[in-house]
Amino acid sequence: MLYPQQMYVLKRIILFLRRLIYLARSHPIESAFVVSVIIAALLPLRQPSIKGYPYLHLTEIKDDLQMCLVTRRPPDFKLCPLVARELSTFKHANININDSLLQEMPVKFKIQSGGRWFPKNCSSWQRVAVIVPYRNRENQLKVFLQHMHPFLQAQRLDYGIFVIEQSEKHSFNRGKLFNIGYLEASKEPDFCCFIFHDVDLLPESPQHIYGCSEEPRHMCSALDSFRYVLPYPELFGGVVAFTKEQFSNVNGFSNMYFGWGGEDDDLYERLCSKQIRVRRWAPEISRYTMLYHAKEIPNPTRHMLLRTSVQRLEVDGLSTLEYKILKTELKPLYTHILVDVKPR
């Protein structure tokens, strides 16, 4: 079943193709020339490395991942492999909700209360907190959970999933929810890697290890809605990974972006001001499927705020974060934290 917006786009595409066919029949030479020019212009976009984007490839991943041993170890302690050999290069992202699977998952995948899991036969090399900002996306959250738990367990990670839900009082503040999730997850021992993850993005490659790198990592640099091509090198949104040291060094996200847009660009400016580079893995590894959703209302002040991003770095972020926890619940597949982002 197609959404009305999708039907509209499909009709426009069909109309455009009909016009192209008509032009090709009536003006074959001119049409061939135009098509050649379009192909020549678009081909470089299929090869991001031509634009000078620095990517790490599969053979370089092990050297890039940061190891921080956790204290939870089995009696016959041995370290899990950084990249398990049996991981496939691609896994189809199922975007259909499977309610029976969701009910069976806690037992079937031996998930602990609050969405925690760790391998029993080896010790993971990182303890990872996956932090998801959330409001009114129930169906997407279900798809996300049924995809992510098997995905993370195949990588033998010690992980927990935190869903930070914003109350209805104010406009959505994604950056502030990430900051809150970071501080709340940090109250538990040993989380040393924090992955800030939108609920509508699903990783496709099991070899895309959910761990932290030597530098902050932009994980979803190859998104299906962008034809798996990075549109511009300053893009730093969707899914990003930070160690504790990296995130605290830039004082986290800005708390000032209410509404859609701006907080990712602000974070990128913070990294640049600290002369911290962004790490990316090769597009064939960093592939993501985006779940469809209606476009959010843009933040009208985002451009003005971006102009003062660097000046606000030390006085706007983790160090000045104010919020109120309304409810914390350890659900079978995740930890749910309901917050008021603007209690005063």
Same domain, 126 and 272: yes
Q: Three-state DSSP class for 3?
A: coil
pLDDT at 331 over 90: yes
Same domain, 170 and 301: yes
Going by C-alpha positions, the residue among 159, 132, 153 that lies closest to residue 144 is 132
pLDDT at 99 over 50: yes
The residue with tokens 């098509």 is 35
Looking at the structure of the chain, the number of domains it has is 2
DSSP sequence for 196-213: EE-TTEEE--TTS--S-B
Same domain, 37 and 93: no
Task: Kindly state the tokens that stand for 80.
Answer: 């899990």
Is residue 176 one of the residues assigned to a domain? yes
Same domain, 8 and 147: no
Q: Which residue has the higher pLDDT, 6 or 109?
A: 109
User: How high is the pLDDT of residue 227?
Assistant: 87
Same domain, 42 and 153: no
Count each helix (H run) and each strand (E run) in the chain, helices first.
9, 11
Strands 193-197 and 127-134: parallel
Q: Which domain holds residue 19?
A: 1-46
Q: For 153-195, how does the pLDDT look when each residue is reduced to its tens digit (9 = 90+)? A: 999 999 999 999 999 888 899 999 999 999 999 998 889 999 9
Q: For 237-284, how does the pLDDT look when each residue is reduced to its tens digit (9 = 90+)? A: 999 999 999 999 999 999 999 998 899 999 999 999 999 999 999 998
